[in-house]
Amino acid sequence: MSEECIFCKIIAGEIPADKLYEDDDVLAFWDISPQAPVHFLVIPKKHISRPVDIVEADEQIAGKLLRIGADLAKEQGVEDSYRVIFNNGAKSGQVVFHVHMHVLGGKEKPWPM
């Protein structure tokens, strides 16, 4: 947990979020500022700042983000048309420095962030 991190605070329950899924490793919740009809975030509970900071020991959790995102996309009925986005670094548009996978769907080519 990083004390300054807003997503760690959501994981700790210190900030509310509208959750779709949670287990020991992963949390998924609706984006507060949706850019598509379906827009949620899937995050590891472990604090990792940026995708580029993912190391070999994180492989399983990194794959799990994709698998949980797929399950939830099916649940939301967007399995035929969703995009996933990981922003990495401020110049790419990363604002929250805790790895998160955007899942966007529900319209054609839900892009850009």
Chain residues that interact with ligand 5GP, rule: CB under 6 A: 6, 15, 17, 29-33, 87, 93-96
Tokens representing residue 19 in the block: 């959750």
Binding segment (CB under 5 A) for Zn ion, from list 5-13, 16-24, 28-36, 68-76:
5-13
Answer for the pair 2, 8: CB distance below 8 angstroms, yes or no: yes
Shortest Å, Cβ 29 to ligand 5GP: 5
Handedness of CA 89, 101, 63, 25 (dihedral sign): positive
Answer for the pair 99, 49: CB distance below 8 angstroms, yes or no: yes
Q: Which is nearer to ligand 5GP, 6 or 70 (CB)?
A: 6
Catalytic residue flag (residue 100):
yes
Q: Which is nearer to Zn ion, 2 or 92 (CB)?
A: 2
- The CA distance from 15 to 80, in Å, is 32
Which parts of this chain interact with Zn ion (CB under 5 A)? 2, 5, 7-8, 47, 98
Catalytically active residues are: 100
